[in-house]
Amino acid sequence: MENDWRLAGNEKLFRGAVFERKTYTQWSPTWDHDHCSFCWAEFVEDGSPEHEAGTFHEGYSTPGPPSQPREDYYWVCTPCFDDFRAHLGWKLRPEIADGT
């Protein structure tokens, strides 16, 4: 796991992060997609003209850093979330509310 190229530069940034499972929506009329912070897969709105095979329209998001505090700043696709959840100690927002 430690040699996985997707962790480069991400392990420290995302350790212990809290995510929320969401449907992707573009946050600005001029910003039509985002990328998985780990594998760089594209997120686009479902039904978008840019929606092609291999793009995601839902996944896991977390707010940005203090300099970019916007909700849904970082996105992680389901395969990467499943691969790194235990290794990086990620939680889902409802789990925090439940105390688990």
DSSP assignment, residue 91?
E
Contact 59, 21 (CB under 8 A): yes
Q: What is the pLDDT of residues 72-81, one digit of tens each?
A: 999 999 999 9
Q: What's the confidence (pLDDT) of residue 60?
A: 97
**21 pLDDT exceeds 90?**
yes
Predicted confidence band at 97 (pLDDT cuts at 50, 70, 90)?
low
Q: Give the model confidence (pLDDT) of 38-53 as tens digits.
A: 999 999 988 766 666 6
Q: Mean pLDDT across the stretch 4-30?
A: 91
Which is nearest to 10 in space by CA: 93, 100, 71, 83? Answer: 83
